[in-house]
Structure 1
Amino acid sequence: MSKKIGRFELRKELGRGAQSTVYLGFDPQLQREIAIKTVHVSRADPTQNQVLLDEARTVSKLRHPNIVPIFEAGEADGDIYLVFEYVPGKNLAEFLRDSGALSPVKAIGIMRPILDAVAHAHAQSIIHRDLKPSNILLDENGTPRVMDFGIAARVDSPSDDTQEYSGTPAYMAPEYIENRQTSERSDVFAAGLILFEMLAGRRAVEGNNVFQVMHRLANENLKLPASAAVDDALGGILYKALARDPGCAISPQNSSPRRSITISIRKRTAKGGKARSRPSIFCSAGCATRAIFRPSRNRSVRSTRLPTARPRASPSSPIRSSRTSR
């Protein structure tokens, strides 16, 4: 292993993906620790390298407390490298392996900042494309930080017969599996899978191989196990996010998408029914929307009005040493 990439010193390896390696590094110019992801492909492809650099420049403009920023990107010996903020802690995949299923209140506490980060990116027309627990880092205070927006799917796609796909099979949306269609709603589906995993203590879909997993995601309706104690409101929102039909009953061009989405969710969950269509968390008018949850006074969980209304009082990743793909 080379001791340096550009001006950055490499101190130790933190993790590996299918085509990438993450190192703990040090920036001698700014005197700070950083994380460096190197991207290596078997065949040198200047065009692909340029695409990755262009995407890194775009993502580096995101500024949000729950997004891991990219400080720098470059090319060394034909390989792309990305320099990220380094924040010690665990990723969400590791946290869930240690903790098992979470209570609804704990799961929602983690999910809300993740949705804030994704909504912020969608407002800038950036789709994550590989949202999953190992791309969500929990810092030393337990604050979620989302990383690899728009980049991970291209870098760490499987290297076997699924080469035509980008991303992680267990977190792919049905429309991408079947038609290679990617949109903001694909991130919504992935967020639903992550919430399912936090509530159930296991992945929403498991199988003997990636093709079986992808087949189940594209063809089966997902249902929480009986052990996951969630109320109708939270269950309704979860199943709405996990709807196999990406079509949204509320059009992004709707003049009041935030209010309409909230009303739609409430109407469905009030009857204990499952929502049938997946909500968009992106609005063409430039506002990102998402269902926000908060614990009520009796500790049950329900959907609340989105932030266009006056808020009601609530009661009382950084790269770290982890595998970069799960």
Structure 2
Amino acid sequence: MPDETHKEELIHEACFHIDDRLGSLYENIHDEELDDSFDPVLPEERYQIGDKVADGGLKSIFKAYDRKSCRHLAIAFLREDRPLELHQAEFVREAKMSALLEHPNIIPVYDVGVMESPFFTMKLVMGDNLNHYIFEESKHFTLNQSLRIFIKICDAVSYAHSRGIIHLDLKPENIKIDSFGEVLLHDWGIAKRIYIPENDSNQLSENNITIPDTINGTPSYMAPEQFDPKHKITDERTDIFSLGGILYSLLTYKRPFGSQDIRLERKLTSPLKRCPELKIPSSLNAVCMKAMSNHPDVRYQQVKDLQHEIELYLDGFATEAENANLLTLSKLIFQRHMKICLLISASLIIIFMLTLTFITKLQQSESNTRLALTAATESKIATEKALLQSESNFSLYKQEKSERKQFGELTSEWISKVPVGLDKWKYYRYEKQLEVAIQATPNRIELYEKMFMLHVFNGNFPEAIKTYDTHLTQTDFMKKCVPIFRKYAKLSPTISGFSNELMIQLFFDLKLKQHAWIASGIMRTRMEIPQSRESRLNLIIQTIKKTNPHQELWDIQYDTEEGQIFTSFSLKNHNKADQFMALAGMTIGSLDLSGKGSFSPEKISFTYVKKLILVDRKIVEFERFYAIKGLEEIVIKKGQIPNEFIRKMPLIKFTYVD
């Protein structure tokens, strides 16, 4: 055994790089406190491997015991079915990327090394993943608990973004809730580092390489750009879409999309419509829909913006996404300051009662004084003063009544000039505005006309007939169409109950009455109703044929995947077809209407068209081109449109063909 002097020299040498302030501590270490367990050991000797816990994309995770630190942890190895020579670099990069992220809501990595294959160790989290708490009814959180969990998830993702890392596989299965309620994000297997922040000491290289033919992730929560085989550009906003999907599941207890749905243009049903029985707050519904927009530029641009919206809701403020009106803001102010408002109300009641008591006593004293006074002149003066006060009060009342009337008329005048909207989500808001205007000015016929058209465009024929019979029977407004709507109102309360055949007949009847523009508006509403691709195409094609009976031969060409959004749609050389109401509500990349016959841009004003081909068509009402939404290019022959009109449309590109 070495003597005391030699042992002290060994200790000082081992602690050479440690702060000198610890020197005195090491000098007092006794012989029995020097333990061989702190000597370097091989990983095979250090870790005692236990049962498998889970399998991931590249790795298998086992429970292990660390003999060196005397604790249980999780250890990840490359899966046996993943060849080492193909996947070792990916596995090691995931380990280093996970180790780079040091955050309270991200599972930490302890060690990285190699035994028979590469491995890394991390914290062993006891508890279920968020998937169990969402989709098992017995484990549901309250709404506020769910939102606080979501904020912690946002904290973790926001931190990762600050280190230049995007996760690309955010979903409830990759979020653990431990036995103490802590929220921990994990599984960075397909994450990418898209940039290295300034002054970042960890120089893990960027990884912007994407394999175009592969789709990595979970389709239910993936952003559309992750499915794009050509561009596949991902950034922080891709994670924001997935965060919106997690919020969707926390609100509805459902996944936003099917597990096999990998279309670029998926139709998302809002949480409020999908689960009306849950009474999801409209503010959170708006936040979720904005985060999950198909277009990255429309989403929140940073995670902290999304997180701030949730914090606003929890703090009782209106979110920016919901665009709250004055009434909603007032309710939120009252809820935030309920105690103060109640205290003020109680104080006002007390002040009123004290004032009333004072006035009562004052009146009693005045009464006693008057009884003592016998002079008739004083009584006369008091009476005259009371009369003057009454006249003044009556004058103020008349002025206030006149101002209220003027305000109501101004409001009604403004609403009467707002065009009837066709967007379904604006239907109920505009209906309420019209009801307010009608209350203010019940004699304005144009308000009832707008209410009638609002119900017609949204396919609510019974309400339209009710409005007409109550207020418009003495006018000439829509007299040709009312019998048609009265007939179809008896067949079904709303157009959602109509068969395609019945809808086509309705459009034909309206066309005969020269009201194809109304049919176009109804068609747009009809196309918003969920239906199969074949059903949509059948409705479009049969409507075109029914409403253009003079066109005998048909050769309709189109390119579409879901029957409402078309890459191209061609009615070329259909010279006797001049009614296009069947295309209302469609989104068309290229619409070919070349051929003989006349054409007015108003015929497709209800259609979103990017490129319009009108070769040989006789074009009228040139100024109506601006009514076509999304129009960027018109293909014609020279001379079809006068140059003076072309110069008036600088935002539209004109392409000429021979």
Q: Same fold (TM over 0.5)?
A: yes
Which residue is 1:27 aligned to? 66
CA distance in structure 1 between the partners assigned to 2:96 and 2:226 by the alignment = 25
2:307 to 291, 295, 309: 291
Residue 302 of structure 2 is matched in structure 1 by 281
Q: Which has the larger radius of gyration?
A: 2
Q: 1:24 to 1:214 in 2, by over 3 A?
A: same
Shift of 1:21: 1.9
Where do residues 313-324 of structure 1 align in structure 2 (5 Å cutoff)?
none
Shift in Å, 1:301: 7.4
C-alpha RMSD of matched pairs (Å): 3.1
Structure 1 length-normalised TM: 0.69
Residue correspondence of structure 1 range 253-264 to structure 2 within 5 A: none
> Contact 1:233/1:303 (CA < 8 Å) preserved in 2?
yes
Q: Which amino acid aligns with 1:21?
A: S
- Whole-Å separation in 1 of the counterparts to 2:80 and 2:215: 16
In the alignment, the residues of structure 1 paired with residue 183 and residue 265 of structure 2 have an alpha-carbon distance, to the nearest angstrom, of 28
- Cα 1:296–1:239 shift into 2, 3 Å: closer
Question: Which has the higher mean CA deviation after the structures are superposed, 62-71 or 91-100?
Answer: 91-100
Structure 1 pair 314–31 and aligned structure 2 pair: CA distance change class (3 A):
farther
- In structure 1, distance between residues paired with 2:84 and 2:119: 14
Q: 1:16 to 1:54 in 2, by over 3 A?
A: closer
Deviation at residue 246 of structure 1 after TM alignment: 1.1
Letter aligned with residue 234 of structure 2: T
**Do residues 86 (structure 1) and 124 (structure 2) align?**
yes
Deviation of 1:202 after TM superposition, in Å, equals 1.4
Tell me if structure 1 keeps the 8 A contact 2:270–2:285.
no
Secondary structure in 2 aligned to 1:219? coil
Secondary structure, counterpart of 1:93 in structure 2: helix
Distance 1:54 1:15, change over 3 A: closer
- Whether contact under 8 Å (2:78, 2:88) holds in the other structure is no
- Distance 1:111-1:9 versus aligned 2 partners, 3 A rule: same
Q: Deviations over 1:59-78 (max 9, x none)?
A: 3122211111111223443x
Which of the residues 195, 208, 225 maps onto 1:175?
225
- Structure having the higher strand fraction is 1
Higher helix share: 2
- Tell me the SS of whatever aligns to 2:60: strand
1:182: how far off? 2.1
Unaligned runs of at least 5 residues, structure 2: 1-42, 193-211, 321-335, 339-658
Q: Does structure 1 conserve the Cα–Cα contact (< 8 Å) formed by 2:241 and 2:291?
A: yes
SS in 2 for 1:227: helix
| CA deviation after TM superposition for structure 1 residue 52, in Å | 3.0
Matches within 5 A, 1:24-103: 24-40=63-79, 42=81, 44-46=83-85, 48-77=87-116, 79-99=117-137, 102-103=141-142
Offset, 1:153: 6.0
Q: Distance in 2 between matches of 1:13 and 1:59?
A: 20
For the Cα contact (< 8 Å) 1:177–1:218, is it kept in 2?
no
Q: What displacement does 1:28 show?
A: 0.8
Tell me if structure 1 keeps the 8 A contact 2:61–2:74. yes
Asked whether 1:233 is paired with 2:283, we answer yes
How many angstroms does 1:103 deviate by? 4.1
- The 1-side partners of 2:278 and 2:238 are apart by 24
Change (3 A) 1:122 1:153: closer
- CA gap 1:33/1:218 in 2 versus in 1, 3 angstroms: farther
**C-alpha separation between the residues in 1 aligned to 2:58 and 2:87?**
13
Residue 244 (structure 2) aligned to one of 192, 209, 212: 192
Q: CA deviation at 1:241?
A: 0.7
SS in 1 for 2:240: helix
**Distance (whole Å) between structure 2 residues aligned to residue 206 and residue 170 of structure 1:** 5
Cα distance in 2 for partners of 1:142, 1:9 equals: 28
What residue in structure 2 maps to residue 201 of structure 1?
253
Whether contact under 8 Å (1:36, 1:83) holds in the other structure is yes
1:219 aligns to what?
266
Give the one of 163, 166, 174 matched to 1:124: 163
C-alpha separation in 1, matches of 2:81 and 2:72: 29
- Alignment partners' CA distance in 1, 2:135 and 2:256: 14
**Partners of 2:109 and 2:121 within 8 A in 1:** yes
Q: Give the Å deviation of 1:96.
A: 1.8
C-alpha spacing 1:242/1:46, structure 2 compared with 1 (3 Å): same
1:302 CA drift (Å): 4.5
What SS does structure 2 have at the residue aligned with 1:60?
Answer: helix
Q: Deviations over 1:178-204 (max 9, x none)?
A: 243221111111111111111111111
Mark the CA change 1:199 to 1:43 in structure 2 (over 3 Å): closer, same or farther. closer
Cα separation, 1, equivalents of 2:45 and 2:265: 44
| Distance in 1, Cα, partners of 2:257 & 2:98 | 30
**So what's the TM-score if we normalise by structure 2?**
0.36
Q: Which has the higher contact order (CA 8 A, sep 6+)?
A: 1
Structure 1, unaligned stretches of length 5 or more? 155-161, 248-276, 283-287, 305-312, 316-326
